[in-house]
Amino acid sequence: MVGELGGESLTHDLRVERRRVRLFFAGLLVVSAVLDIVGALLIQHQTRSQVLEGLVPASITLGGRTGAVLSGLALLLLAGGIARGKQVAFRLTLVVLVLNIGFDLVKDLDFEAGTLLAWILFGLWLFRSHFEADSDPLRVRWGLAALTGGLVLAVVYAIFGIEVLANQLSPEAGPVQSLESLAKALVGNPTQYRALTERANWFLGTLPVVSYALVLFALVQLLRPVLAPRAMAAERERVHRLLMTLGRNHISHLAVFGAESFHWFDDEGCVAFSLEGRTALALGDPICAPEMVTRGLQDFVNYCERQDWIPAFYQVDSEREYREQAFTLVVIGSEALIQTQTFGLQGKERHDLRYAVKRCEKQGVRFEFMPGPEALAAHSQQLHAVSGTWLRSRRGPELSYSLGTLSTLSDPDITVGLAFSAAGRLEAFVSWLPVPARKGWTLDLMRRRPDSAYGAIEALIVRSIEEARGRGIVEVSLGVAPRVISAGEGSGTADRALRAMFWGLDRFERSRSLHQFKAKFSPCWEDRYLAVPGASTLPEVLIALVRAHLPPLSAAAVWMRSALGSVLRPSSTRPSPSAG
């Protein structure tokens, strides 16, 4: 499948042109709407008004002013949809512009405003191929139903109120006149009704508020982005098979668990992503052959363009392909890589590792390695106990998305390393994700008991590297250490946003010690990136990233706990990564 929009392949230049066209017309709509509203409220062409008075009743010119104000407000609301290229917004804007031109002519023969609106109308139609982003079909149907129901509800509310307050209002006589007065009251021009009491005056004031609020709600529903389809079990199994041959990114294996949806291109590769708000957050690089990465990026970006989504890629390990597609790359951390064939415990810099291994050997700690399902079957109770105490020491929930959980150990391709005391108690465990295309492993879970043997985690990782070497694994990743941004540095927008993200995930305050822990193994450090379409989308993408990692029901509670913890918890009590 070739990514297309409007029947043509979307190159980077075409995407840039479309973005500019959309923003240009959105800006024009805002300017014209403000001018219309101000003109209707404050400006009156005396000569033209006198001409109109001889042609139409004054109530019609006042209705034209009311219509111009309402149309201006509608254009302000629709401008956001035009900026995003929404097809529904485009069609509604054309209708509102035509109506607005009529209102401008009726209110006081405002040919200048009408000409500007006609020019915008012509320009939008000329560039109509740039406004084909979909809205969610269910939301569109719900929005149309809400619009229809809202209008009916507003009329029912008005009729019911008029009947209840019949002795407090002075309407015109006759059914036609009453309906005309009712319609004018709903749009904020209740000139045909005269309130005889304060309560009746309040009721007349609420009529336009109720009708505007219902229309606003319907417009919001109509402009909602498309929802991503949830991946089924068969599709996840298909991705799993693809990963076992083409998985190159060190966290791609978690796509089977962390990603909610998959976008396939040419049936030979896919992008695993989760939709958070309008952000389609991809987990790692496209899962495909190296020569197809660029094709996969283009296809996914085009797909997101059609759905009104922001494409973003988290923890990517290459630069060239993303820069060629004009992505902005933000360094989020460094990945610690170890070559198993050259790893050893010699040298001064690995003194701590030698000491940890010797201490564990002296205390009789033994190490075992087995597939995840076997570990769960044989040691489920102890695994949950160790994990539970570890999570409580962190005072937070179990993060997900780019981090595994105990449930991921059900995958037989994940290897679990276990450290047992001489008495048989599970002291610590780690899990390793396969990276078949690199002949590598990636460290995922790393947890221990608070009172475990000294150096249990360090010794377990050392033995894991030796185990990997024996199985023909050539590279081991200890994972990404988040970028360290101290309070006195990084004054840029990206740095401030990244600091807020790590703080929200309760990892920023431990990023320095996590880096120091991994440095014990003398790894080779490689930068990892967050790829976004542009700097302006970074705040929205970072919010999506936090939402993807946190449990959906406790995100706000965790954020608040993190904020309070950073203020109330002494620095000396903060647990270090080497503790689990």
- At residue 461, the pLDDT reads 95
- At residue 305, the pLDDT reads 82
Q: Is pLDDT at 261 greater than 60 in this prediction?
A: yes
Lowest mean pLDDT among 58-72, 114-128, 319-333, 370-384: 58-72
- At residue 6, the pLDDT reads 38
Q: Tell me the pLDDT tens digit for each residue of 46-91.
A: 666 666 666 766 666 666 777 777 788 788 878 888 887 777 788 8
Q: Tell me the pLDDT tens digit for each residue of 334-357.
A: 899 999 999 988 888 888 899 999
- At residue 16, the pLDDT reads 72
pLDDT bucket at 230, cuts 50 / 70 / 90: confident
State CA 173 to chain mean position distance.
56
DSSP-derived letter for residue 176 is H
Q: Tell me the pLDDT tens digit for each residue of 405-450.
A: 888 999 999 999 999 999 999 999 999 999 999 999 999 999 999 8
- At residue 60, the pLDDT reads 67
Percentage above 90 pLDDT, the chain: 26
Q: Is pLDDT at 364 greater than 80 in this prediction?
A: yes
Question: What residue spans define the domains of the chain?
Answer: 1-134, 142-224, 335-502+511-524
- 409 beta partners: none
Scanning 336-455, the segments in alpha helix (DSSP H) are 351-362, 372-394
d(CA 183, CA 190): 8
Q: Tell me the pLDDT tens digit for each residue of 29-51.
A: 998 888 887 877 676 666 666 66
- Residues with Cβ within 8 Å of 251's Cβ and at least 6 positions away in sequence, in order, are 283, 284, 315, 402, 433, 442
Q: Tell me the pLDDT tens digit for each residue of 271-329.
A: 999 988 889 999 999 999 888 999 999 899 988 887 778 899 999 988 889 988 889 89
d(CA 321, CA 284): 13
Q: Is pLDDT at 371 greater than 80 in this prediction?
A: yes
Strands 415-420 and 426-435: what pairing? antiparallel
What is the dihedral angle through the alpha carbons of 271, 275, 278, 282, rounded to the nearest 10 degrees? -30
Percentage above 70 pLDDT, the chain: 67
Q: Is pLDDT at 474 greater than 90 in this prediction?
A: yes
Q: 255, 284 in Cβ contact below 8 A?
A: yes
Q: 67, 209 in Cβ contact below 8 A?
A: no
Work out the average pLDDT over 365-377.
95
Q: Tell me the pLDDT tens digit for each residue of 126-150.
A: 988 888 776 555 555 655 666 676 6
- At residue 171, the pLDDT reads 59
Q: Is pLDDT at 5 greater than 60 in this prediction?
A: no
Q: Tell me the pLDDT tens digit for each residue of 520-541.
A: 999 999 999 999 988 888 888 9
Q: Tell me the pLDDT tens digit for each residue of 166-185.
A: 677 665 444 444 555 555 55
Q: What is the largest CA-CA distance in the chain?
A: 106
One of 3.40.50.10310, 3.40.630.30, 3.30.70.520, 3.20.20.70 is the CATH number of 335-502+511-524, namely 3.40.630.30
d(CA 98, CA 257): 50
CATH number for the region 1-134 comes to 1.20.120
Q: Is pLDDT at 400 greater than 60 in this prediction?
A: yes
Q: Is pLDDT at 453 greater than 90 in this prediction?
A: no
Work out the average pLDDT over 488-497.
53
Work out the average pLDDT over 175-197.
54
Q: Is pLDDT at 494 greater than 60 in this prediction?
A: no
Scanning 338-450, the segments in alpha helix (DSSP H) are 351-362, 372-394
pLDDT bucket at 501, cuts 50 / 70 / 90: low
Work out the average pLDDT over 103-121.
83
Angle 159-161-165 from CA coordinates, rounded to 5°: 120
What residue type is 86 in one-letter code?
A: K
Provide the sign of the torsion angle of the four alpha carbons 329, 335, 339, 345, taken in this order.
positive
- At residue 555, the pLDDT reads 44
pLDDT bucket at 233, cuts 50 / 70 / 90: confident
User: Can you tell me whether residue 493 is helix, strand or coil?
Assistant: helix
- At residue 313, the pLDDT reads 95
